[in-house]
C-alpha cells in the first residue's frame, strides 16, 4: 500500500455538504468528499450505510429512482452536476458505471461495446473503437475471434470485463464501480483487480466494496461511511494501519459490520 496525500492530486469530483434522501428518509448526511483524479478511491462501510446511494449521485444515476433527491452539491470539474443547466446524459458519458452483476445486453460482444458510441453519433471506425476498448479492458485476446458471438456466452468474469469495455468505449474520465466483483469467483476477481490497477493511469476510479482486503489491495484512498456519515477519509494505508477514528478501527478490524 502506498501513502497518498489528498493534496497531491487535483479533485475531479467533489461533494459539498451533500445529503441524499429517498422521500423523507435521509440516508447520507452532509458529506464533503474530494475524489482525486487518476486515483482509485474505495468507499467502504456496513450494509445500508449509503455507499451505493453515494456512488449513484456521481453520475446522476439516482435520477432513475423517483423518490431520490439531494441537497448540497456534486461538483465535477468545478461545476455542480445538479445545477439546472446540466445535461445528465452527458455526465453519464463522462462518468461511466459498472454494476454489481455483469449486465451485458443480449447482443453480440461487438454490439455491446459499440452500442453507446453509435447511438451518440460516433464518427470514427467502430472496429477500431471496439478493439481499443476491449484491449483496455484486458479482454481482447479472449474474444477477438468471436466478436459476433452473444455476450451472454461469456463467463461471469469476462462479462464484467465486457461491461468495463462498454464503459470505456464512451471515453469517460471517471469509472464508478459498485461491488464489481461480488458475483465473481476468486480468479475472475483477481483479474478485475489487476485491470483496475492498469486503468488508474487513464481514468479516475471510485469503487464500492464490502471486501476490506480488496479495498486495501487496490485503492489509493478510502472513505469509511457509517450510518450515512463520512467517518473518515484518507490514504488507504493510513485508514488501514492508523485510523484516526475508533469507529473506523472497529470496522476494519471486523468488530462490527
Ligand X SMILES: Nc1ncnc2c1ncn2[C@@H]1O[C@H](COP(=O)(O)OP(=O)(O)OP(=O)(O)O)[C@@H](O)[C@H]1O
Residue 52 lies near ligand X (rule: CB under 6 A): yes
Report whether 37 contacts 12 (CB < 8 A). Answer: yes
Name the residue among 62, 72, 61, 63 with its Cα closest to residue 31.
72
Residue 5 lies near ligand X (rule: CB under 6 A): no
Residue 248 lies near ligand X (rule: CB under 6 A): no
Binding region for ligand X (CB under 6 A) out of 45-53, 101-109, 119-127, 193-201: 45-53
Residue 50 lies near ligand X (rule: CB under 6 A): yes
The rounded distance, in Å, linking the Cα atoms of 65 and 69 is: 9
The rounded distance, in Å, linking the Cα atoms of 44 and 226 is: 9
Q: What is the pattern of x (binds ligand X, CB under 6 A) and - over residues 171-210?
A: ---------------------------------------x
* CB of 65 vs ligand X, minimal distance in Å: 4
Candidate list 34, 51, 95, 205; residue touching ligand X; CB under 6 A:
51
Report whether 210 contacts 182 (CB < 8 A). Answer: yes
DSSP state, residue 173: S
The rounded distance, in Å, linking the Cα atoms of 206 and 105 is: 24
Residue 117 lies near ligand X (rule: CB under 6 A): no
Candidate list 1, 6, 27, 183; residue touching ligand X; CB under 6 A:
27
Which three-class secondary structure state does DSSP give residue 10? coil
DSSP state, residue 21: E
Residue 23 main-chain phi, psi, to 5 deg: 60, -125
Candidate list 1, 6, 16, 22; residue touching ligand X; CB under 6 A:
22
Q: How far apart are the two ends of the chain, measured CA to CA in Å?
A: 23
Nearer to ligand X, 5 or 48 (CB): 48
Nearer to ligand X, 129 or 184 (CB): 184
Residue 67 lies near ligand X (rule: CB under 6 A): yes
Binding region for ligand X (CB under 6 A) out of 40-48, 138-146, 149-157, 245-253: 40-48
Binding region for ligand X (CB under 6 A) out of 50-58, 105-113, 134-142, 241-249: 50-58
Residue carrying C-alpha cell 477500431: 128
Helix or strand (DSSP H, E) at 213: helix 212-218
| CB-count burial class (<10 Å; 0-12, 13-18, 19+) for 166 | buried
Residue 256 lies near ligand X (rule: CB under 6 A): no
Applying CB under 6 A, which residues contact ligand X? Answer: 22, 27, 45, 47-53, 65, 67, 210
Amino acid at each position: 500500500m502506498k501513502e497518498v496525500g489528498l493534496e497531491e492530486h487535483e479533485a475531479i469530483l467533489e461533494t459539498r455538504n451533500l445529503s441524499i434522501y429517498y422521500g423523507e428518509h435521509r440516508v447520507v448526511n452532509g458529506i464533503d468528499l474530494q475524489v482525486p483524479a487518476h486515483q482509485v478511491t474505495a468507499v467502504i462501510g456496513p450494509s445500508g450505510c449509503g455507499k451505493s446511494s453515494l456512488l449513484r449521485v456521481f453520475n446522476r444515476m439516482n435520477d432513475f429512482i423517483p423518490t431520490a433527491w439531494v441537497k448540497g452539491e456534486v461538483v465535477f470539474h468545478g461545476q455542480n452536476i445538479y445545477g439546472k443547466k446540466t445535461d445528465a446524459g452527458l455526465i453519464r458519458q463522462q462518468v461511466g458505471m459498472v454494476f454489481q452483476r455483469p449486465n451485458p445486453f443480449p447482443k453480440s460482444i461487438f454490439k455491446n461495446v459499440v452500442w453507446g458510441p453509435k447511438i451518440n453519433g460516433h464518427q470514427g471506425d467502430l472496429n477500431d473503437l471496439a478493439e481499443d476498448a476491449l484491449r483496455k479492458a484486458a479482454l481482447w485476446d479472449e474474444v477477438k475471434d468471436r466478436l459476433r458471438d452473444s455476450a451472454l456466452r461469456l463467463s461471469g468474469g469476462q462479462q464484467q470485463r465486457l461491461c468495463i469495455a462498454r464503459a470505456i468505449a464512451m471515453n469517460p474520465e471517471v469509472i464508478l464501480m459498485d461491488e464489481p466483483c461480488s458475483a465473481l469467483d476468486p480468479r475472475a476477481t483477481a483479474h478485475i483487480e489487476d485491470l483496475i490497477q492498469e486503468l488508474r493511469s487513464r481514468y479516475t476510479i471510485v469503487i464500492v466494496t464490502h471486501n476490506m482486503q480488496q479495498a486495501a489491495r487496490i485503492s489509493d484512498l478510502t472513505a469509511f461511511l457509517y450510518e450515512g456519515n463520512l467517518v473518515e477519509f484518507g490514504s488507504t494505508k493510513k485508514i488501514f494501519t492508523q485510523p484516526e477514528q475508533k469507529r473506523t478501527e472497529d470496522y476494519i478490524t471486523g468488530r462490527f459490520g
